[in-house]
């Protein structure tokens, strides 16, 4: 199977959207699922990317990625006609979609990409969808139109006020919980944002789903590297998740584990590339 | 035992060979048993502990022939009964002694598809060699004929001399078979069913083939080239190979039948579910399942820091929990990746370890420490959630349990702490649930293993299973044996 890239678009400075040929995955995928991607079969790493959308007729899936390391860096250089070496999936447990009533979808930064298909499915299932999306500044907001078009209520937040409201996504979230308690919240974004959202909704007892982005190797439940503490149980994000009850996640452990390879990554090419990129942004 | 370099072993073998070769036919059993056992030549321990090169080098021609002469060709051939695939052991050994390696290869090929692999990784001391008459007469199973080493010699000889022929394929039947998983079970089913003329597609979840032989067993014990070679043969036979395809996710078993039109399906998905201890601190940074550790190192080639994108954890002091082959592989890998100190922690003693004897010996030679009669109670972390130390509790051996091994009993108040920064958990694997969870009609036992009948048929018509997904984590040769049996059943099923 050749996973050719059929479409490419830069969404913000370090975020790209591509469509890739993967007919079986396009056919079978459901909201909330992901694929494992490699750019080189021999020495590449396997990285998880959420399936942001799919076109069954065309046989393609849409992936949105941010440049964070070696693989995403190199992926950003691929163009239409090039191909990914490996795309495998759809993996993970799909989001449980039904009519909950009033739902709030909170997306932060690149997390807006995985949130989009879920918000879409929730809207389609007849929910009243409020969407809050946020980022550091205006240039980092992605999929604004797409998200707006499916929301009954739409709020944008930026840290510097360059778009929408100035402040964190948790502020409007808290107001909503206070004024008109939602039936469910789903928050996807940087771990610290998801943790904060879960903390915000906890006092109001609003069920809050989060989508965890642990470090993965295989993505099929074989290695245990993606494990997280959920309540008093150990779960594998790649098969039991990626979505979990945010109130049960052991956030400190989850966030610490994300940095497990940091000290040694600094010796490897991947980390060097990331460091360089971070330097460029300064 | 002290280290003897390969050259010296060969010089000795040559001397013995020169002395014996002409009088082979007249050798009496007693004389044969006096021929010195041929040790496997290996790389020097210090040197090998830093790279991925294969440790065991393999017999020279003279060594192989001398070792083969040790076989007394006894009447009742107990070794064959000890082999899960019933290899005609005395026959191929006889040919080696005669120097007719091609004939030996042909005999092996009748029963084993993967001799280069089995010769390297089979636990012969519990199988064929356990029953060897020579070992029994000498009252030491370590002195049994080196059947595994000889098998490997023949397979390597054949590979080097490119004398293997692609088996003939029967007339195309037009029947489609899906084989799920490219471990030893799946490889054997693919070959046997293809030989019968069926249209076989082999599906593998990973981007490389071979199952545990690829992602688990390290290069220094089983080089990838050998696995690749065996798989290339399948390709030549016309088996269709589809990688990066997760059955249960990309397609369910049901869909493979209803949409893709497969007439029969074989599930050989292995025991890919890591088991953890369930103790405090197991999610700290620096704790890995052996599966993760070995997959990063082997499949993702993280040992090659120059080229690989997948990172490897940098360790100083490593604790490996468990006493099987997986624990040996993990500890030896940790050493090769630069750990200063590697400790295997095991509740019983070395004598009770399920690992192959040779692996334990190799690990010891390379400098792995063995902490016997100890177990980890808790893993202690620092302020950054990194492993800092282990709390260890001591054991003593009590009465034998059902398996006949003496049961370890905890010694009260024997706890102490040792500093460690890495813990590799190698206490076993459960069965991979991806297929079973998405195939509700497939009957499994309470451990999640697929239930099959004598022939390897599951509770769903036309669906067969074998290998670790049926047996629980077992061995390469048992997986092969299961595959062989299931292939027979599949071929029979498709005839009707
Ligand atoms: C580190 C280690 C060392 C070992 N050492 C030895 C040894 O020295 N000697 C010995 O005899 N045995 C050893 N074993 C055990 C031996 O490797 C296994 O018993 C044997 O490989 C089992 O074969 P299998 O074909 O059943 O499955 P596996 O080898 O596990 O292969 C299963 C394959 O199926 C694939 N798969 C799983 N799920 C799916 C799916 N849903 N869709 C598609 N593909 C899927 C997997 O990716 C894998 O490639 C060792 C095991 C380990 C882990
Ligand atoms: S990524 Fe290996 S178990 Fe989840």
Residues of A in contact with B304 (CB under 8 A): 43
Question: In this structure, are A80 and A109 located in the same domain?
Answer: no
Residues B243 and B356 in one domain: no
Structure tokens at B492: 């029979």
- DSSP at B143: G
Model pTM score: 0.92
Q: Are residues B416 and B299 in the same domain?
A: yes
3-state secondary structure string across chain A: CCEEEEEEEEEECCEEEEEEECHHHHHHCCCCCEEEEECCCCCCCCEEEEEEEEECCCCEEEEEEECCCHHHHHHHHCCECEEECEEEEEECCCCCCCCCCEEEEEEEHHHHHHHHHHHHHHHHCCCEEEEEEEECCHHHCCCHHHHHHHCCEEEEEECCCCCCEECCCHHHHHHHHHHCCCCEEEEECCHHHHHHHHHHHHHHCCCEEEECCCCCCCCCCCCCCCEEEECCEEEEHHHHCCEEECCCECHHHHHHHHCCCHHHHCCCHHHHHHHHHHHHHC
The answer to whether the beta carbons of residues B89 and B80 sit under 8 Å apart is yes
Cβ(A224) to ligand 2 under 6 A? yes
Task: Calculate how far, in angstroms, residue B310's C-alpha sits from the geometric centre of ligand 2.
Answer: 14
With respect to residue A199, please indicate whether it lies within any of the assigned structural domains.
yes
**CATH number of domain containing B247:** 3.50.50.60
Give residues 100 to 159 of A whose Cβ lies within 8 Å of B: none
Contact B451, B443 (CB under 8 A): yes
Domain end position, chosen among A91, A112, A130: A91
At which of B138, B161, B184 does a domain end?
B161
- The two structure tokens encoding residue A181: 């308690």
d(CA B445, CA B431): 11
Residue A229 to residue B283, Cβ atoms within 8 A: yes
Residues B40 and B136 in one domain: yes
Instruction: Tell me the ipTM for this assembly.
Output: 0.89
> The domain containing residue B102 runs over which residues?
6-161
- What is the total count of domains within chain B? 3
Domain end (from A91, A124, A157):
A91
Where among A69, A91, A113 does a domain terminate?
A91
Whether A21 and A118 share a structural domain: no
Contact B244 A90 (CB under 8 A): no
Nearest ligand (C-alpha, residue B288): 2
Q: Is B9 left (phi over 0), alpha (psi -120 to 50) or beta?
A: alpha
Residues B336 and B246 in one domain: no
> Would B184 be classed as within a structural domain?
yes
What are the residues whose beta carbons fall under 8 Å from the beta carbon of B40, sequence distance 6 or more?
B56, B57, B58, B59, B146, B149, B358
Nearest-CB residue to A217 (from B286, B296, B305): B296
Q: Is B337 on the interface with A (CB under 8 A)?
A: no
| CATH assignment of the domain containing A238 | 3.40.50.80
Token pair 């692999």: residue: B117
Residues B238 and B375 in one domain: no
Mark whether A191 and A123 lie in a shared domain: yes
Q: Which atom of ligand 2 is nearest to the CA of A226?
A: 4
Nearest protein CA to atom 3 of ligand 2, as residue: A221
Q: Which domain holds residue A20?
A: 3-91
- For ligand 2, whether the C-beta of A242 sits within 6 Å is no
CATH number of the domain enclosing A20: 2.40.30.10
Q: B126 φ, ψ to 5°?
A: -105, -5
Q: How far apart are CA A36 and CA A58, in angstroms?
A: 20
Task: Look at residue A275 and tell me if it is in a domain.
Answer: no
For residue A74, give Cα distances in angstroms to A16, A44, B300, B339, B362.
12, 11, 18, 31, 41
Which atom of ligand 2 is the closest one to the Cα of A219? 1
What stretch of H or E contains B208? none
> What total of structural domains would you count in chain A?
2
Determine the distance in angstroms separating the CA of B411 from the nearest CA of chain A, rounded to an integer.
29
Domain contains B370: yes
Domain C-terminal end among B427, B456, B474: B427
Is residue B168 a part of any domain in this protein?
Answer: no
- Alpha carbon distance B298, B296 (integer Å): 6
Best mutation site among B260, B278, B310 for testing chain A: the one with the most A CBs within 10 Å? B310
* End residue of a domain, out of B161, B194, B220: B161
Q: Are residues B24 and B150 in the same domain?
A: yes
Residue of B82, B181, B184 to mutate, ligand 1, most atoms within 8 A of C-beta: B181
Q: Are residues B366 and B421 in the same domain?
A: yes
Q: Which two tokens stand for residue A190?
A: 């940087």
Same domain, B11 and B157: yes
* Interface residue of A47, A223, A229, A275 to substitute, partner B, most B CBs within 10 Å: A223
Per-residue pLDDT of chain B (496 residues; tens, 9 = 90+): 578 999 999 999 999 988 888 888 888 889 899 999 999 999 999 888 888 999 999 999 999 999 999 999 999 999 999 998 899 999 999 999 999 999 999 999 888 888 999 999 998 988 999 999 999 999 998 999 999 999 999 999 999 998 888 888 999 999 999 999 999 999 999 999 999 999 999 999 999 999 999 999 999 999 999 999 989 989 999 999 999 999 999 999 999 999 999 999 999 999 989 999 999 999 999 999 999 999 999 999 888 888 888 888 889 999 999 999 999 999 999 999 999 999 999 999 998 899 988 899 999 999 999 999 999 999 999 988 999 999 999 999 988 888 777 889 999 999 999 999 999 999 989 988 889 889 999 999 988 899 999 999 999 999 999 999 999 988 999 999 999 999 999 999 999 7
Q: Are residues B29 and B68 in the same domain?
A: yes
Q: Do B249 and A28 touch (CB under 8 A)?
A: yes
Provide the 8-state DSSP code for B279: -
Instruction: Give the separation between CA B444 and CA B440, rounded to whole angstroms.
Output: 10
Chain A hits for B288, Cβ within 8 Å: 224-225
């Amino acid at each position: 199977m050749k996973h050719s890239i059929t479409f490419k678009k830069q969404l913000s400075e370090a975020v790209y959207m591509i469509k890739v040929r993967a007919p079986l995955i396009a056919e079978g995928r459901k909201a909330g699922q992901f694929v494992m991607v490699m750019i080189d079969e021999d020495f590449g790493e396997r990285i998880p990317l959420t399936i942001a959308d799919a076109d069954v007729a065309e046989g393609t899936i849409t992936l949105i990625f941010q440049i964070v390391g070696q693989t995403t860096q190199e992926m950003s250089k691929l163009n239409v006609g090039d191909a990914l070496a490996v795309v495998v999936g759809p993996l993970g447990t799909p989001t449980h979609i039904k009519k909950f009533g009033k739902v709030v979808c909170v997306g932060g930064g690149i997390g807006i990409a995985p949130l989009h298909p879920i918000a879409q499915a929730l809207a389609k299932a007849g929910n009243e969808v409020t969407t809050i999306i946020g980022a550091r500044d205006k240039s980092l907001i992605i999929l604004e139109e797409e998200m707006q078009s499916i929301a009954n209520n739409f709020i944008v937040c930026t840290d510097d006020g360059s778009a929408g409201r100035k402040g964190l996504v948790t502020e409007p979230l808290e107001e909503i919980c206070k004024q008109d308690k939602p039936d469910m919240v789903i928050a996807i974004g940087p771990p610290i944002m998801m943790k904060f959202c879960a903390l915000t909704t906890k006092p109001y007892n609003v069920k809050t789903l989060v989508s965890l982005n642990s470090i993965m190797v295989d993505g099929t439940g074989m290695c245990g590297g993606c494990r997280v503490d959920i309540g008093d149980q150990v779960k594998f994000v790649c098969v039991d998740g990626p979505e979990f009850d945010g109130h049960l996640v052991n956030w400190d452990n989850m966030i610490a584990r994300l940095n497990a390879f940091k000290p040694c990554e600094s010796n490897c090419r991947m980390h060097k590339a990331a460091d360089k990129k971070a330097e460029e942004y300064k | 035992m002290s280290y003897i370099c390969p050259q010296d072993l060969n010089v000795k073998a040559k001397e013995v060979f020169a002395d014996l070769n002409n009088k082979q036919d007249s050798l009496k059993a007693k004389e044969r048993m006096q021929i010195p056992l041929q040790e496997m030549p290996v790389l020097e321990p210090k040197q090998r502990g830093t790279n991925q090169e294969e440790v065991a080098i393999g017999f020279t021609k003279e060594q192989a022939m001398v070792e083969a002469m040790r076989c007394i060709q006894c009447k009742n051939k107990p070794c064959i009964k000890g082999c899960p695939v019933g290899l005609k052991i005395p026959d191929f050994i006889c040919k080696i002694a005669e120097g007719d390696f091609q004939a030996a290869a042909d005999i092996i090929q009748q029963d084993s598809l993967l001799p280069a692999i089995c010769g390297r990784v089979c636990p012969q001391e519990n199988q064929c060699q356990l029953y060897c008459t020579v070992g029994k007469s000498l009252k030491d199973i370590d002195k049994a004929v080196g059947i595994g080493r000889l098998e490997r010699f023949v397979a390597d000889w054949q590979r080097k001399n490119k004398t293997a022929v692609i088996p003939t394929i029967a007339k195309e039947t037009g029947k489609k078979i899906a084989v799920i998983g490219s471990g030893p079970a799946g490889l054997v089913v693919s070959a046997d069913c293809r030989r019968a003329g069926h249209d076989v597609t082999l599906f593998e979840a990973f981007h490389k083939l071979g199952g545990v032989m690829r992602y688990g067993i390290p290069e220094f014990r089983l080089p990838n080239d050998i696995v690749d070679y065996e798989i290339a043969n399948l390709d030549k036979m016309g088996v269709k190979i589809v990688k990066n395809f997760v059955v249960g996710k990309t397609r369910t078993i049901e869909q493979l039948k209803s949409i893709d039109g497969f007439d029969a399906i074989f599930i050989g998905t292995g025991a890919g579910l890591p088991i953890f201890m369930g103790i405090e601190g197991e999610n700290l940074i620096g704790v890995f399942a052996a599966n993760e550790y070995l997959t990063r190192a082997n499949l993702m080639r993280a040992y090659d820091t120059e080229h690989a994108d997948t990172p490897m954890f940098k360790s100083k002091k490593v604790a490996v929990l468990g006493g099987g082959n997986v624990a040996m592989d993990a500890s030896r890998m940790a050493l090769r990746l630069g750990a200063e100190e590697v400790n295997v922690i095991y509740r019983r003693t070395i004598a009770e370890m399920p690992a192959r004897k040779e692996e334990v010996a190799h690990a010891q030679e390379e400098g792995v420490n063995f902490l016997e009669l100890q177990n980890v109670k808790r893993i202690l972390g620092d302020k950054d959630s990194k492993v800092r130390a282990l709390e260890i509790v001591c054991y003593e051996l009590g009465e034998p349990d059902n398996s006949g091994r003496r049961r370890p009993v905890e010694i009260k108040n024997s706890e102490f702490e040792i500093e460690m920064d890495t813990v590799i958990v190698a206490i076993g694997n459960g069965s991979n649930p991806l297929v079973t969870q998405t195939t509700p009609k497939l009957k499994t036992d309470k451990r999640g293993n697929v239930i099959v009948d004598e022939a390897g048929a599951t509770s769903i018509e036309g669906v067969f299973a074998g290998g670790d997904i049926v047996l629980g984590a077992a061995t390469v040769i048992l997986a092969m044996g299961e595959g062989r049996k299931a292939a027979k059943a599949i071929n029979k099923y498709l005839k009707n």
